[in-house]
Structures are given as structure tokens and as C-alpha cells.
Amino acid sequence: MAGRGLLRADESTLGWRPLGPQWGERYLLHLAEDPNNPGRLYAITNDAEILVSQNGGIEWSPF
């Protein structure tokens, strides 16, 4: 969500919570999960950045 970062659904409360503060005004175009490591995520943003998370989306760094 632009301006809120990447959000994760909490099924127990039916609410949403942000994942990591690194998103700023960027928004997500594509998201992929590593089939060999479910905690590793790859993201492509609207400003053509490729990011990787090693901990399920909590922290992101350039790929």
C-alpha cells in the first residue's frame, strides 16, 4: 500500500499490520517466494528496485 509499506494480514484479528519500515512511498509490483526457502522473498517496486528479504518480509535490502 503506497505510503504504508508492505502489509501482512493477521488472520486471528482480521487486521493488517505493516512489514518493515523500508517501503516509504514505493509500492509493490511483483512478489515471489523462494521455493527452497519460504522465508526468502523477492520484490520488485515501482521504481525498478529489486529487494530481498531473508526473514519473511520483516526486513528488506537491495538484491
For the chain, the structural domain boundaries read 6-62
**Terminal CA-CA length for the chain:** 21
Please give the residue that has the higher pLDDT: either 24 or 55. 55
Question: What pTM does this model have?
Answer: 0.76
Question: Hey, which residues does 19 pair with through a beta bridge?
Answer: 6
| Confidence bin at 5 (pLDDT 50/70/90) | low
Please state, in angstroms and rounded to a whole number, the distance separating the CA atoms of residues 3 and 35.
29
Residues 16-54: tens digit of each pLDDT: 877 766 777 778 889 999 999 989 999 998 889 999 999
